Amino acid sequence: MSVTIKDIARKAGVSHTTVSRALNGNPSIPDKTSVLIRDIAEEMGYLPSAAARGLKTRHTRALGVLVNRIDNPYFGEILQGIEDAVKDAGYSIFIASSFMNPKHEKSIIQAFSEHRVDGVIIGSVPVNQESYNLLDQYGIPAVVINNQSHRNHKYTISHDDFYGAQQVTRHLLDLGHERIAYIGNKRASKINNNRLRGLKHEFLAADLAFNPNFVLHQPGGEIEDGFTGMEELLKKQADISAVFCFNDLTAIGALHFLIRNGIRVPEDISIVGFDNIRYSAYTNPPLTTFDQPKRSIGTEAAKMLMDLVKQTVSGEPNDHPMSKLMRGQLLVRESTKQPERRNL
């Protein structure tokens, strides 16, 4: 079965203590025996048991990542960013998706805790107080990406949605749009609010009145929500000239609805997305959007978490909260242009 340090010890004619020390580079072991032991270990295909080691050292070199769903292109890139950062540092990651279901979420956090992960990253999901208490009790630090709960968390990485929404809105205003609609996502309450706030702020800054009837909050942020949202919006308000969508997925859905119904984009209506998921460059027309540094958000979250772990291990208390706000940039493609004059 699996090779243990005792097997190596037997073969090398020393005690397992010496093997353990040799493999960990303890200076009390002279080079020649150290080399001998390493060679034998290599030859026997020895790999230390993370379980046994973790039992003693109290850390596992494993992190837990909780997301809403894995097969979401936005999270996908964040996950990849996390993995990039983590891989170099020799950590492994557990990934689980909660589907916004509190039951799942609780059992995921439990599983993470049972595996005694060194830390947890929570990606754009509101998490129960109960789950946090669990992590607290087990002394597991958590970094929250795009905090969605009302609670303020100690360690967060967030995207500056307010700024992003401002840029998007300014772009539309600069083009001459005034009848701008917003298709939001109820579920992502905090993010949704920030984006809407950014939009309103720009209207205010431009001395324009924003028509609240132009806002529609959908139950989710998927393609379908954009599709049905666009449909509903046009039923209520036929005279909009541009739509700011919660994210690229909803924008793709909205775009699709318009094209299906013979409404030209951007000639009749301009569409803007948010996030810059990979695919948004290849819609027809290519989507104007706000480019979130998703991969960087992932790596920054992972780095922050690994720093926290290091501090925890070295026993430093570190009670001051940390949070990092990441900014992206507007990406003008072809789904936006100045509004054409229409008979009013």
Partner DNA sequence: TATTTTTACGCACACGTGTGCGTAAAAAGG
Partner DNA sequence: CCTTTTTACGCACACGTGTGCGTAAAAATA
Binding site for its own copies (CB under 8 A): 1-2, 45, 47-52, 54-55, 60, 62, 69-73, 76-77, 79-80, 83, 87, 90, 92-97, 104, 107, 110-116, 134, 137-139, 223, 252-253, 255-256, 259, 278-279, 281-284
The one among 25, 38, 42, 56 contacting DNA by CB under 7 A:
56
Q: Which does 33 bind (CB under 5 to 8 A by kind): its own copies, DNA, none?
A: DNA
Using rule CB under 7 A, residue 212 touches DNA? no
Using rule CB under 7 A, residue 314 touches DNA? no
d(CA 261, CA 268): 12
Q: Which does 282 bind (CB under 5 to 8 A by kind): DNA, its own copies, none?
A: its own copies
**What's the first-to-final CA gap in the chain, in angstroms?**
80
Residues facing 120 on adjacent strands: 64, 142
Interface with DNA by CB under 7 A: which range of 7-15, 69-77, 208-216, 335-343? 7-15
Using rule CB under 7 A, residue 35 touches DNA? no
d(CA 128, CA 125): 10
d(CA 221, CA 192): 10
Using rule CB under 7 A, residue 110 touches DNA? no
Task: Name the H helices within the chain.
Answer: 5-12, 16-23, 31-44, 50-57, 73-88, 102-114, 129-137, 161-175, 189-205, 223-236, 248-260, 294-313
Q: Smaller CB distance to its own copies: residue 198 or 328?
A: 328
Q: Which does 284 bind (CB under 5 to 8 A by kind): its own copies, DNA, none?
A: its own copies
3-state secondary structure of 324: strand
Using rule CB under 7 A, residue 49 touches DNA? yes
Q: Least distance from C-beta 12 to its own copies, angstroms?
A: 20
CB burial of 248-272 (b: ≥16 within 10 Å; e: otherwise) equals: bbbbbbbbbbbeeeeeebbeebbbb
Burial class (CB in 10 A: 0-12, 13-18, 19+), 344: exposed
Q: Smaller CB distance to its own copies: residue 83 or 178?
A: 83
The one among 38, 43, 44, 52 contacting DNA by CB under 7 A:
52
Q: Smaller CB distance to its own copies: residue 178 or 224?
A: 224
* Angle subtended at Cα 218 by Cα 165 and Cα 102, rounded to the nearest 5 degrees: 100
Q: Judged by CB under 7 A, how many residues of this single chain contact DNA?
A: 27
* Angle subtended at Cα 136 by Cα 130 and Cα 139, rounded to the nearest 5 degrees: 150
Using rule CB under 7 A, residue 134 touches DNA? no
Give, to the nearest 10 degrees, the angle between helix 248-260 and helix 223-236: 50
Interface with DNA by CB under 7 A: which range of 14-22, 200-208, 263-271, 323-331? 14-22
d(CA 247, CA 192): 10
Site residues (vs DNA, CB under 7 A): 1-2, 4-6, 13-18, 20-21, 23-24, 28-30, 33, 46, 48-49, 52-53, 55-57
